[in-house]
């Protein structure tokens, strides 16, 4: 009799403290496309007071979590308090395959329990031909744009380099010309003129040579004079008209090389100046 009473007491005690506790996984879709988001839901419920302490999940590297959310609700049924806790994990698959989401380990104030496992099939995304062609066209436009930009940069670099070299040559020629045009006499002037390097020609150096020659014969500095002023001085001198005409023609030709679209050969002008000077000196 005592044994029966003891067993009844144990049974009553177990019934008094027994509780119902479940934890399970579910998904919004078992088949998804690559990069298509879906929801993994963890549901935890019990017929007693329940609080989550920790969720250990064997998470796979092939899924990326976008966001998570949690909700808790309770209700009383037949004087029994039921608790429901829901965790949502919105994820994106980043690889295609058939995956297994392994059980989560859920630790609560009651006990620790494992959920079920779930299979997920991630399918490749078929890109339409017109979309592929559009992507190819975009890539082609980008490549062509880069090539055009590089080409323009190269052309600009070569232009700047050419302009700088031309400026350096002009400065060098001007310095070299001036080095033997300062305070010249006719003999020294003609000697240097005949040995002048024709490759270093430019409009300013040729005009300097002609003005120095005219300064010698007019015995007056023409360095800062304009063409109009020079022609006026020549007309007021005792020089022959033919000589003056040739000088005027040469000044006009030099002017054309600098400001006119008409192409004039500097070497031809220089040869005419040498001939004019030598003829004048021989006479």
Phi and psi at residue 148, in whole multiples of 5°?
Answer: -65, -45
Spatial distance between the Cα atoms of 93 and 190, rounded to a whole number of angstroms:
90
Q: Is 84 helix (H, G, I), strand (E, B) or coil?
A: strand
- CATH number of the structural domain 179-282: 1.20.120
Domain segments of the chain as ranges:
16-123, 179-282
User: Nearest-CA neighbor of 32 among 116, 105, 101?
Assistant: 101
pLDDT at 151: 92
Query: Can you give the pTM of this predicted structure?
Result: 0.40
Spatial distance between the Cα atoms of 70 and 27, rounded to a whole number of angstroms:
15
Joined together, the tokens standing for residue 44 give 């935890």
For residue range 41-98, list pLDDT tens digits in order. Answer: 999 988 777 777 788 876 667 888 898 999 888 888 777 778 888 999 999 998 888 8
For residue range 131-150, list pLDDT tens digits in order. Answer: 556 667 788 889 999 999 99
pLDDT at 280: 82
Task: Give every CB contact of residue 26 below 8 A, 6+ residues apart in sequence.
Answer: 40, 41, 43, 118
16-123: CATH, from 3.40.50.10070, 2.40.110.10, 3.10.350.10, 2.60.40.1510: 2.60.40.1510
């Amino acid at each position: 009799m005592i044994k029966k009473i003891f067993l009844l007491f144990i049974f009553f005690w177990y019934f008094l403290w027994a509780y119902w506790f479940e934890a399970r996984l579910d998904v919004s879709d078992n088949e998804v496309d690559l990069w298509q988001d879906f929801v993994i839901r963890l549901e935890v419920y019990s017929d007693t007071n329940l609080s989550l302490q920790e969720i250990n999940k064997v998470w796979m590297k092939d899924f990326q979590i976008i966001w998570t959310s949690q909700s808790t609700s309770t209700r009383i049924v037949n004087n029994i308090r039921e608790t429901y806790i829901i965790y949502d994990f919105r994820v994106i698959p980043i690889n295609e395959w058939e995956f297994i989401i392994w059980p989560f380990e859920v630790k609560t104030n009651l006990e620790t329990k494992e959920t079920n496992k779930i299979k997920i099939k991630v399918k490749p995304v078929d890109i339409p031909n017109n979309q592929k062609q559009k992507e190819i066209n975009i890539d082609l436009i980008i490549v062509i744009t880069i090539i055009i930009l590089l080409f323009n940069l190269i052309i600009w670099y070569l232009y700047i380099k050419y302009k700088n070299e031309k400026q350096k040559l002009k400065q060098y020629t001007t310095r070299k010309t001036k080095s033997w045009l300062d305070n010249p006499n006719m003999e020294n002037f003609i000697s240097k003129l005949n040995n002048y390097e024709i490759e270093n020609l430019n409009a300013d150096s040729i005009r300097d040579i002609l003005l120095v020659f005219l300064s010698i014969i007019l015995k007056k500095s023409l360095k800062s004079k304009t063409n109009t002023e020079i022609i006026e001085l020549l007309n007021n001198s005792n020089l022959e008209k033919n000589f003056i005409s040739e000088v005027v023609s040469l000044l006009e030709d030099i002017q054309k090389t600098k400001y006119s679209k008409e192409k004039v050969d500097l070497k031809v002008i220089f040869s005419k100046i040498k001939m004019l000077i030598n003829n004048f000196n021989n006479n």
